[in-house]
Amino acid sequence: MISAESKPLDILALAIRSEIDAARFYQKLLIRVKTDLLKQKIRFLLLEERKHRIILLRLSRQRFGQEPSNLPDQGIEPGFKIDSTRGMEVVELFQLALKAERGAEAFYREAKERVEDSLARQILDYLRRVERSHAALILSEIELLKRFPEHYDVAAFHLGEDMVHIGP
């Protein structure tokens, strides 16, 4: 995804475009999800991707005296770029997200190898690790979505809200 000719500012532009796509993706996913615990996780991912864009823009200004003058049409992972979530199951959207987060992790690993600047390397390495933790978080939800496909509700776990409390 990064060619031998990619300049550092191009790599940053690609990363920024990807973070924008990722945030938009999570925004769409948020609308589709009904349960509280899941909404909370997606909102967290959305906020993280937004912060990453800000971090990358700052790094651009610091190191190149400018933000990228234009961003590529395509981000790292086409998986984050979807027109609509219609016709897709929530679990499919999570699977897309998992693939895209893993792609982002691989991208940041490669990007780090392409830059020489020590601060930039540290930041790219941080972003790589964060995308990895997102993938782990998404994976745990996918397993649960698969096991409770019909009436997925993490908080209630089909235990029933109307359960009589007969405990002490």
Does 149 sit near its own copies (CB under 8 A)? no
12-20, 59-67, 80-88, 109-117 -> range binding its own copies (CB under 8 A)? 59-67
CA dist 37 and 47 (Å) reads 16
Q: Which two tokens stand for residue 149?
A: 């496909």
**Per CB under 8 A, which of residues 75..114 are in contact with its own copies?**
none
Question: Residue 101: which of 72, 75, 138, 73 has the closest Cα?
Answer: 138
Nearer of residues 74 and 140 to its own copies, judged by Cβ: 140
Residue 158 binds its own copies (CB under 8 A): yes
* 154 belongs to the binding site for its own copies (CB under 8 A): yes
* CB-based contacts of 120-123 (< 8 A; 24+ apart in sequence): 120/8, 120/59, 120/63, 123/55, 123/56, 123/59
Handedness of CA 57, 63, 69, 73 (dihedral sign): negative
- Residue 167 beta carbon to its own copies: minimum distance, rounded to whole angstroms: 3
Exactly one of 34, 58, 74, 113 binds its own copies (CB under 8 A); that residue is 58
Q: How far is CA 124 from CA 13, 24, 92, 94, in A?
A: 13, 21, 28, 24
37 makes contact with its own copies (CB under 8 A):
yes
31 binds its own copies, rule: CB under 8 A: no
Which CB atom, from 81 or from 135, has the smaller least distance to its own copies? 135
Percent composition of the chain: helix, strand, coil (DSSP 3-state, to 5) = 65, 0, 35
Residues of this chain that interact with its own copies (CB under 8 A) are 37, 40-41, 44, 47-48, 51, 54-55, 58-62, 65-67, 69, 119, 122-123, 125-126, 129-130, 132-133, 136-137, 139-140, 143-144, 147, 154-160, 163, 165-168
